[in-house]
Amino acid sequence: MFDVYKIRKDFPMLNNKTQQGHPLVYLDNAATTFKPYKVIEACNNYYLNENANAHRGDYDLAYKVDFNIDKVRQTVANFINAKKEEIVFTSGTSMSINLIAFGYGMKYLTKDDEILLTEAEHASNVLPWFKVKEHTGCKINYIPLDKDGRLSIDGLKKVINEHTKIVAIAQISNVLAYLVDIKEISKICHEHGALLMVDGAQSVPHIKIDVKDLDCDFLSFSGHKLCGPTGIGVLYGKYNLLKLTDPFMTGGGNNARFDMCGNVAFLQPPEKFEAGTLNIEGIYGLGAAIEYLENIGMENIEKYEKELRNYAISKLKTLQNLIIYNEFAEGSIITINVKDVFAQDEASYLNSKGICVRSGEHCAKILHDFLKTVATVRISFSFYNTKEEIDILYEALKNGGDFLDAYFN
């Protein structure tokens, strides 16, 4: 039985008040999430009881660390229905995408090839591909969005062609939050001989993912957006493709041997991609975060967040001064503007009421041309938010809209 009030007791940050003494209403979960005690304890446990390096020591303590890293790799694999050897630890979504862009894109693409993106992508799923273009001379094209900003299958069918080698898209975008039909898209990509790289930063924390069912070739996500620590993330890749991919970083821990002439024998994936000392406490925390989410149940999380979003939309829709950019999106994000109020001013005003939201372009700089606005206010939920918090947001939006209101209300 999903009980949000019981869940909230697991999060120490939710006990905090703002500088002005307001209860903290944290609605910036698309940026990063709060951590439950279990995650904090798992990180602490590494430093308090198991502090040794991984894959190096010949003593019990070091074996324990190796064992636990292996266990977390299996936990991550089970979480998305992958094989353990298909899970690479990275620092986050950005590094995961860069790894494929540099290790696969730069190695195999040529000037005759093409990469497909959308205008809604986060900078981390655009700029690495620009680097591939710069290096190989390949082309970058964009899958057209429909009038609401949704990636449509018809749009993809119109632009994909025999030159398309990589399609890189978010499963849920970080501004408009539409859920993309990855299964259908991977089918189309594969029919055209293209690989599908999925940016799962905003989907993996919110919905059940099964990479086998989706049949995507690569998937990236970040620990800190799913109640885990910062600085740890995951790249999933089909094993045969990981084998074809070059390491993005090299150094200790990713090679079997090397000699003075420059001959190097790299380890097999995933170790091939994990040069240098790993973020060990991050891996411990990531494992605890996934176990925590699974304990609640991804289906319960998805159902509750949907209910929360519907509640918020039904209230916000009654406010005549609001522009809602994504009323019908599936993800736990609502993007708005208050008419005639600059987004940053609105966010500062909400801050004065204890409400944390994000304003600006949200790293999706091309999308704001599509939306015909310079900036938006992004409200993003997690399963620990409540309807009472939405009521606080509603009252604040109803009563004030300008930065200066913060001083006069």
Catalytic residue numbers, as ranges: 363
Using alpha carbons, select from 79, 80, 114, 90 the residue that is nearest to residue 245: 90
User: How far apart are CB 110 and ligand PLP at their closest, in Å?
Assistant: 27
26/349 with CB nearer ligand PLP: 26
User: How far apart are CB 192 and ligand PLP at their closest, in Å?
Assistant: 24
Chain residues 103-132 in contact with ligand PLP, contact rule CB under 6 A: 122, 124-125
User: How far apart are CB 214 and ligand PLP at their closest, in Å?
Assistant: 16
Strands 164-170 and 114-117, sheet pairing: parallel
- In the shown chain, the binding pattern of residues 143 to 182 toward ligand PLP, with x for contact by CB under 6 A and - for none, equals ---------------------------x---x--------
CB-CB contact of 237 with 212 (8 Å) = no
92 binding ligand PLP? (CB under 6 A): yes
User: How far apart are CB 185 and ligand PLP at their closest, in Å?
Assistant: 16
CB-CB contact of 206 with 173 (8 Å) = no
**What sign results for the dihedral spanned by CA atoms 32, 38, 40, 45?**
negative
- State the CB neighbour count (10 A cutoff) for residue 340: 8
Chain residues 50-69 in contact with ligand PLP, contact rule CB under 6 A: none
- In the shown chain, the binding pattern of residues 264 to 303 toward ligand PLP, with x for contact by CB under 6 A and - for none, equals ----------------------------------------
CA 218 to chain centre: 14
User: How far apart are CB 91 and ligand PLP at their closest, in Å?
Assistant: 7
Question: Which residue type occupies 336?
Answer: I
335/341 with CB nearer ligand PLP: 335
User: How far apart are CB 400 and ligand PLP at their closest, in Å?
Assistant: 28
* From 68-76, 88-96, 107-115, 332-340, span contacting ligand PLP (CB under 6 A): 88-96
* From 19-27, 92-100, 152-160, 291-299, span contacting ligand PLP (CB under 6 A): 92-100
User: How far apart are CB 125 and ligand PLP at their closest, in Å?
Assistant: 6
CB-CB contact of 121 with 167 (8 Å) = no
171/353 with CB nearer ligand PLP: 171
128/247 with CB nearer ligand PLP: 128
Chain residues 198-217 in contact with ligand PLP, contact rule CB under 6 A: 199, 201-202
* From 3-11, 91-99, 311-319, 365-373, span contacting ligand PLP (CB under 6 A): 91-99
Kindly determine how many residues on this chain lie close enough to bind ligand PLP according to the rule CB under 6 A: 13
* From 86-94, 285-293, 307-315, 317-325, span contacting ligand PLP (CB under 6 A): 86-94
Chain residues 8-47 in contact with ligand PLP, contact rule CB under 6 A: 30
Q: At CA 144, angle to CA 141 and CA 150, rounded to 5? A: 130
User: How far apart are CB 387 and ligand PLP at their closest, in Å?
Assistant: 25
What gap in Å lies between CA 174 and CA 331, rounded to an integer? 9
Interacting residues with ligand PLP (CB under 6 A): 30, 92-94, 122, 124-125, 170, 174, 199, 201-202, 222
